[in-house]
Amino acid sequence: MKIESAENIKKRIAEKDEEIRKIWEELRAEKEKPREEIIAELKGIKRTTGQHPGGLLITLPDTDIQKYTPLNYPADNRQSEWMTTHFEYSFLSEIFLKVDILGHDEPTVLQKLFQLTGVDPSKISFHDEKIMSLFTNADTLGIPEFGTDFVKRNLLTPLKPTKFSQLVQISGFSHGTNVWTQNQHAIYKSGQLSLDQLIACREDIWNFLVFWGVENKNAFIATEYIRKGKWEKLPDNIKEEMKSRLSDREGELYFSILSKIKYIFPKPHAIAYTMTGWRTAYYKVYHPQEFYSVLLTYHTAVYDIWLMTLDPVAITFRLNSLLGSLSSYKNSEKELLSIIKVFEELNKEKKRMEKTTRDLKSFGDTWNRMDITKILADVQEKINTSGGKKFVENLRKNGRTWKLTAKEKDLLFTLKVVLEMEMKGLKFARGLDFNNSEIKDFKIENNTIYFPFTAIAGIGEKVTEKIIAYRREKGPITSQWKEELKGLLNINHIQQLENLEKHNLVINL
């Protein structure tokens, strides 16, 4: 019997392995095929049972909506009073009437500003050069509808509006889909059309068509198709009428604009939003103390009292506390990363602000002492020498490419507000005052920002209510606060307040 060599046996085994692998790949491909087909079928369907904050579908009496769409409980909560349609509204728009009933904070904000200043927002003039300059210079942080980075960077800065009507256009652009971006932005930038020649709101479409000579009814029909993003379904006879009224160049340009629109904002909404923004801007110009007090109270959601001081000593204490607890407190790494991410972005904002002014001395000592680059470099050095290799790797990996979470964006906004206050020379003292601080409201008076008790981590509304009740009944809280409040505060509260006191952040005792 011939004995086969080891080399031949290995070769035959390898051939069999390859044959088995090919059979397996074929079987796997056959098995995956139905799965891939199912995935393709599932693309685009509803992935959550979330709920629009105010979108309501109106049905006729005795109409069973489930003939047209299944219903879901929002967030799968079977105790919910409302139910949601499984299919999106766009699939049901030919069957039901939809209304949006949305809540707005701005009337509450204006009412609060009215109470603090005595200036009735309904009496504010819409012809004020100082207010207009705020929009022209994109100095709109905290102004509703005009204070987002997108509006400031992509609309206010390039367009430099000088008229109220142009602010209405900008409101239309910012709320539309494929109205400014991926459409008229490039046309304006190339100089083919001026701002006044652009289409910003639904009514602009009708006005332009009638101005060109299109018959009123056809202009209305065209507007209805275009505002819903249905240019392709617009009847040919109306397109021909529109084309016959325009020169070849004009027709080609405006046909291109109208055909790209997916959704366009109604002008009454744009005007209402712009009026609210303008009225809010009045208080920013003429009553900054009250404006920033209300802004911090109603439009900031995440606070960090140490970071809001803009004081390098207090900030460093906060960061060192997190560095010291990396091994014992599992959330310290996450918190530290978040602060570093936010400070990277805040540093960019600080440098942008510095570029827009010639006199940096006017910013004051706090601004000039707050060297964010140095603070970040010191933290990085401490991390590098801490021995926390995993954390260092995370930091380097995420360093320049990270995206901010929603919570981090909220903290960044809060710090931008405080930074802007400093830039504008509003040199407020900052701190917690046992006898003046409120539960949630940022109180600003006598050139002092009184932080609310709930801005301190771990101190909730219930504890704060007890502190306020104590000072109401017993009188002012003194430097013996630990003894006076010993029945209300736990060890963690006392430790945090002691640290604040050491850094002069418990004030007016």
Question: Does 400 lie in the same domain as 331?
Answer: yes
Instruction: Report yes or no on 19 lying in a domain.
Output: no
Which of 394, 427, 460 delimits the end of a domain?
Answer: 427
Question: Does 321 lie in the same domain as 175?
Answer: no
Instruction: Give CA torsion, residues 318, 319, 320, 325, to 10 deg.
Output: 90
103 CB-contact burial (10 Å; exposed 0-12 / middle 13-18 / buried 19+): exposed
Question: Does 318 lie in the same domain as 346?
Answer: yes
Residue 90's CATH number: 3.30.1900.20
Instruction: Report yes or no on 368 lying in a domain.
Output: yes
Between CA 23 and CA 28, with CA 24 as vertex, the angle to 5 degrees is 120
Q: Nearest to residue 401, comparing CAs of 349, 445, 461, 341?
A: 341
Identify the pLDDT of residue 28: 76
C-alpha distances in Å from residue 7, one per residue of 2, 14, 90, 507? 14, 11, 68, 86
| Contact in structure between 98 and 49 (CB atoms under 8 Å) | no
Domain that holds residue 378: 300-427
The identity of residue 311, as a single letter, is: D
**Phi and psi at residue 440, in whole multiples of 5°?**
-120, -25
Give CA–CA dist 276/278, Å, rounded: 5
- Quick check: pTM over 0.85? no
Give CA–CA dist 264/96, Å, rounded: 21
Give CA–CA dist 81/71, Å, rounded: 13
Identify the pLDDT of residue 167: 97
Residue 455's CATH number: 1.10.150.870
Identify the pLDDT of residue 207: 93
Give CA–CA dist 344/338, Å, rounded: 10
For the chain, how many structural domains are there in total?
4
Instruction: Report yes or no on 442 lying in a domain.
Output: yes
Question: Does 254 lie in the same domain as 151?
Answer: yes
Instruction: Report yes or no on 265 lying in a domain.
Output: yes
Instruction: Give me the tens of pLDDT residue by residue for the chain, a chain 509 residues long.
Output: 566 677 777 777 777 778 888 888 877 777 766 666 766 666 656 556 655 556 778 888 888 888 888 888 877 778 777 788 887 777 777 778 888 777 678 889 999 999 999 999 999 999 999 999 999 999 999 999 999 999 999 999 999 999 999 999 999 999 999 999 999 999 999 999 999 999 999 999 999 999 988 999 999 999 999 999 999 999 999 988 888 887 777 778 888 999 999 999 999 999 999 999 999 999 999 999 899 999 999 888 888 888 988 888 888 888 888 888 877 777 888 888 888 889 988 988 888 888 876 665 666 667 777 888 888 888 878 877 766 556 655 555 554 556 788 889 999 999 999 989 888 877 777 888 999 899 988 888 777 888 898 888 778 888 899 999 999 998 999 989 988 888 888 888 888 889 888 888 888 87
Question: Does 479 lie in the same domain as 444?
Answer: yes
Question: Does 358 lie in the same domain as 272?
Answer: no
Give CA–CA dist 448/443, Å, rounded: 8
Identify the pLDDT of residue 277: 96
| Token representation of residue 82 | 């409302």
- Give per-residue burial for 112-151: e unless 16+ CB within 10 Å, then b: bbbebbeeebeebeeebeebbebbbebbbbbbbbbbbeeb
Give CA–CA dist 261/209, Å, rounded: 16
Instruction: Report yes or no on 210 lying in a domain.
Output: yes
Question: Does 406 lie in the same domain as 351?
Answer: yes
The angle that helices 202-212 and 216-227 make with each other, rounded to 10 degrees, is: 150
Identify the pLDDT of residue 164: 96
Give the DSSP letter string of 187-198.
HHHTTSS-GGGS
Question: Does 119 lie in the same domain as 85?
Answer: no
Instruction: Report yes or no on 74 lying in a domain.
Output: yes
| Contact in structure between 503 and 317 (CB atoms under 8 Å) | yes
Identify the pLDDT of residue 42: 62
Question: Does 249 lie in the same domain as 120?
Answer: yes
Question: Does 248 lie in the same domain as 127?
Answer: yes
Question: Does 316 lie in the same domain as 211?
Answer: no
SS3 488: coil
Instruction: Report yes or no on 179 lying in a domain.
Output: yes
Residue 216's CATH number: 1.10.150.700
Question: Does 497 lie in the same domain as 399?
Answer: no
Beta strand pairing status for 429-431 and 448-450? parallel
Instruction: Report yes or no on 284 lying in a domain.
Output: no
Which of 427, 446, 467 delimits the end of a domain?
Answer: 427
Identify the pLDDT of residue 392: 54
Give CA–CA dist 472/482, Å, rounded: 17
